[in-house]
Amino acid sequence: MSEAPAHRLDLGRRQRLGMIEAIWGEHKSASQIARILEETQAAGELALATRVSEDKAEAVQQDLAGSMDIHWHAQARCLTAGPLPAIDPTRGRVAVLSGGTSDLPVAAEARLALACHGIAAELVLDVGVAGLHRLLQQLPNLEQADVLIACAGMEGALPTVLAGLMPQPVIGVPVSVGYGVSAGGAAALQGMLASCAPGLSVVNIDNGYGAAMAAIRMLALRGAADRGRPSATPRC
């Protein structure tokens, strides 16, 4: 009996959902990641591997030396194989905010995942509620974004404040940063889920990639609405 394949790539995800498949790298070996990258490139797809340490990234690069263009994104802890697409400004703009610089890896993962789909995304760092004036100073800039992704640890209040101030969709990302009772991001997650700000969406702890995919779905819906929007000219 032949051995079952170790993985089955979802190479139809772009056609089905408008998203590339992402590779969860944290619990895969360097060899497993390398083989998946080879298959993805052979299929003509851009590859994104998340949660990849520097040591593992170096091992993958050595394994595939000379065979493909691989880049390790240190801030985002991700690997990409293949050129990123050009940014398409017609698809909208996302602002990715972080409460503090400790949230940067998760925020950078979200921004990179958006870049892999040609979505313009700006990082707005260190605007947590401990110094609310820093966030208020950014509001004119945030008004230009179509979707806001807010990454925060500790008590996770940043998305709630944003959702109470801004009309765009706000996606909260709880981050596993904080002292004792922060419980690895559980306090931030529960705080966001219990938010009194109406319409706040929340993804899982440290899931910057998932927040980016939620933003892509929102932008796609907005684009479809714009294409099908009837004329504003009143009918007689």
User: Following DSSP, what letter does each residue of 122-140 receive, concatenated?
Assistant: EEE-S--GGGHHHHHTTHH
Residue 222: predicted pLDDT: 73
For residue 4, pLDDT over 60 is answered with no
Give residue-wise pLDDT tens across range 157-199.
Answer: 999 999 999 999 999 999 999 888 888 999 999 999 999 999 9
CB under 8 Å, gap of 24 or more: what pairs does 182-185 form?
A: 182/153, 182/154, 182/155, 185/153
Structure tokens at 219: 């932008």
Letter string b/e over residues 57-95, b meaning 16 or more CB atoms within 10 A of that residue's CB: bebbbebbeeebebebbeebbbbbbbeeeeeeeebbbbb
- Nearest CA among 39, 38, 93, 102 for reference residue 66: 38
Q: Are 18 and 220 in contact (CB under 8 A)?
A: yes
Among the residue ranges 2-6, 94-98, 223-227, the one predicted with the least confidence is: 2-6
Give residue-wise pLDDT tens across range 140-156.
Answer: 999 999 999 999 999 99
Residue 3: predicted pLDDT: 47
- As a whole number, mean pLDDT of residues 3-31 equals 77
- Nearest CA among 88, 107, 111, 87 for reference residue 98: 107
Among the residue ranges 15-24, 104-113, 167-176, the one predicted with the least confidence is: 15-24
Q: What is the mean pLDDT of the chain?
A: 88
pLDDT band at 48 (very low <50, low <70, confident <90, very high): very high
For residue 202, pLDDT over 60 is answered with yes
Q: Are 36 and 9 in contact (CB under 8 A)?
A: yes
Q: For residue 77, what is the DSSP state? A: T
Phi, psi angle pair for 62, to nearest 5°: -65, -40
- As a whole number, mean pLDDT of residues 7-31 equals 81
Look at the pTM and tell me if it is higher than 0.75. yes
Q: What is the CATH class of 89-223? A: alpha beta
